[in-house]
């Protein structure tokens, strides 16, 4: 998905070169690159991309131009693309909703820049369209307060205490964590934080918490130690699900609804009320907790290494339970 987004952005950038070059016919590639904030190599790549672009597949339907560092850039056939690509009302509205979400999170972003960008978007939208998206962007006051409190805790390095409902275990517990960063996935804000109570063999580990599952959020006076150097965060895959390890599962037929809440792909019917399935594994530690918590609904059958890891986690949990029971 991220790769497709980059390709689309690159194509739009290339197509927007056509009206620019039409309006600046005497610039050399070096001058154009400097004016556009690009390197000469980036400009050449963008122009080269245009050779494969057009309104169809036939030769006469493709953009025709020439590029020379000595003679400049000359466009012979622009296929009518003489205007810069502009946002549609829907696209502008979607961006406005995202900006409205960021505006409610002080300390997370440069609020001045967000306000400026939002104002520019409203400027290109008619009043009715802007009013519609402004109404959609209205957030729950309590949710905004939680975001603001957590963003402030991240900024000021303060510990946070809250009550959290875990969907995987269907349990509610009180957590005290060291907030590291806030990020948004599919419109939902999450907090990445160091949880000292989470580590099995260490003094803690980073956990992810969805904000709408938090209650009674309280920012403490205690200084936070978020262990940022140990935070393995990839904005293109914030949950770490770009790893190659894939779990092989057998899910009881009445619990196939799990695929609606987790990245589970259902397969063939195995009979005896079981459905084959697969699930990408970003963190073996997280997946082990997930598998053990869903033990009455599914079984992990492969790969063997993952099965062994879960078995070891199960054994340690039994030993701890036995020790506390004595």
* pLDDT at residue 221, as a whole number: 94
Say how many domains are in the chain. 4
Confidence of residue 4 (pLDDT cuts 50, 70, 90): very low
Q: Which residue has the tokens 């009445």?
A: 254
Q: Are residues 151 and 215 in the same domain?
A: yes
Query: Of 196, 230, 264, which residue is a domain's last?
Result: 230
Find the mean pLDDT for residues 26-42. Answer: 82
* pLDDT at residue 107, as a whole number: 46
In a domain, 238, yes or no: no
Q: Which residue has the tokens 């402004």?
A: 134
Sequence-separated contacts (24+) of 242-246 with Cβ below 8 Å: 242/282, 243/280, 243/281, 243/282, 245/280, 245/281, 245/284, 245/303, 245/306, 246/278, 246/279, 246/280, 246/281
Q: Are residues 66 and 106 in the same domain?
A: no
Write out pLDDT tens, residues 132-157. 445 444 445 566 678 888 888 888 89
* pLDDT at residue 177, as a whole number: 94
Q: Which residue has the tokens 């999170």?
A: 105
In a domain, 52, yes or no: yes
Closest listed residue to residue 242, CA positions, set 227, 232, 250 = 232
In a domain, 241, yes or no: no
In a domain, 235, yes or no: no
Q: Are residues 224 and 176 in the same domain?
A: yes
In a domain, 208, yes or no: yes
- Locate 253 and state its tokens: 């037929």
Residue % of the chain over a pLDDT of 90: 13
Q: Ranked by mean pLDDT, which of 5-9, 65-69, 150-154 comes out on top?
A: 150-154
Q: Are residues 59 and 123 in the same domain?
A: no
Q: Are residues 168 and 219 in the same domain?
A: yes
- For the full predicted model, state whether its pTM sits above 0.75: no
Query: Of 116, 138, 160, which residue is a domain's last?
Result: 138
CATH number at residue 179: 2.30.30
Closest listed residue to residue 107, CA positions, set 43, 191, 182 = 182
Closest listed residue to residue 100, CA positions, set 31, 29, 187 = 187
Q: Are residues 169 and 122 in the same domain?
A: no
Q: Are residues 109 and 166 in the same domain?
A: no
SS (H, E, C) 173-215: EEEEEEEEEEEEECCEEEEEEEECCCCCCCCCEEEEEEHHHEE
Q: Are residues 72 and 108 in the same domain?
A: no
Query: Of 54, 77, 100, which residue is a domain's last?
Result: 77
Compute the distance between CA of residue 196 and CA of residue 192 in angstroms, rounded to an integer: 13
Domain housing 59: 2-77
- Residue 271 in this model has a pLDDT that exceeds 70: yes
In a domain, 217, yes or no: yes
Write out pLDDT tens, residues 220-247. 999 999 888 877 666 555 555 555 688 9
Q: Are residues 63 and 96 in the same domain?
A: no
Q: 149 and 216 in contact (C-beta within 8 Å)?
A: no
Closest listed residue to residue 237, CA positions, set 282, 301, 296 = 282
In a domain, 276, yes or no: yes
Find the mean pLDDT for residues 160-166. Answer: 91
Task: Give 299's strand partners.
Answer: 250
Q: Are residues 30 and 47 in the same domain?
A: yes
Q: Ranked by mean pLDDT, which of 33-47, 90-104, 225-239 comes out on top?
A: 33-47
Q: Are residues 112 and 68 in the same domain?
A: no
Write out pLDDT tens, residues 73-89. 888 877 766 655 555 55
In a domain, 72, yes or no: yes
């Amino acid at each position: 998905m991220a790769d497709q987004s980059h390709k689309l952005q690159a194509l739009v950038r290339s197509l927007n070169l056509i009206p620019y070059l039409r309006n600046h016919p005497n610039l050399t590639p070096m001058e154009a690159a400097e004016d556009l904030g690009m390197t000469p190599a980036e400009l050449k790549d963008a122009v080269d991309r245009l050779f494969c672009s057009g309104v169809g597949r036939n030769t006469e339907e493709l953009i025709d131009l020439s590029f020379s560092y000595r003679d400049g850039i000359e466009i012979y056939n622009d296929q009518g693309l003489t205007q810069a690509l502009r946002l549609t009302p829907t696209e502008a509205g979607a961006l406005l909703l995202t900006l409205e979400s960021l505006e409610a999170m002080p300390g997370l972003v440069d609020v001045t820049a967000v306000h400026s960008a939002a104002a520019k978007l409203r400027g290109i939208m008619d009043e009715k369209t802007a009013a519609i998206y402004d109404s959609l962007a209205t957030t729950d006051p309590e949710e905004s307060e939680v975001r603001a409190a957590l963003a402030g805790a991240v900024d000021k390095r303060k510990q946070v205490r809250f009550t959290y409902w875990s969907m995987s275990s269907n349990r509610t517990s009180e957590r005290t964590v060291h907030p590291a960063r806030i990020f948004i996935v599919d419109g939902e804000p999450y907090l990445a934080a160091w949880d000292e109570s989470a580590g099995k063999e260490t003094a803690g580990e980073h956990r992810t918490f969805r904000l709408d599952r938090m209650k009674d959020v309280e920012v403490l006076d205690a200084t936070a130690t978020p262990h940022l150097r140990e935070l393995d965060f990839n904005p293109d895959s914030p949950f770490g699900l770009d790893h190659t390890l894939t779990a092989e599962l057998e899910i009881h037929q009445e619990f196939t609804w799990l695929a609606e809440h987790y990245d589970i792909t259902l397969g063939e019917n195995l009979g005896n009320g079981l459905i084959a399935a697969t699930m990408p594994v970003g963190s073996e530690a997280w997946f082990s907790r997930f598998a053990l918590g869903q033990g009455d609904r599914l079984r992990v059958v492969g790969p063997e290494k993952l099965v062994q890891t879960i078995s070891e986690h199960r054994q340690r949990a039994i030993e701890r339970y036995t020790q506390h029971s004595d």
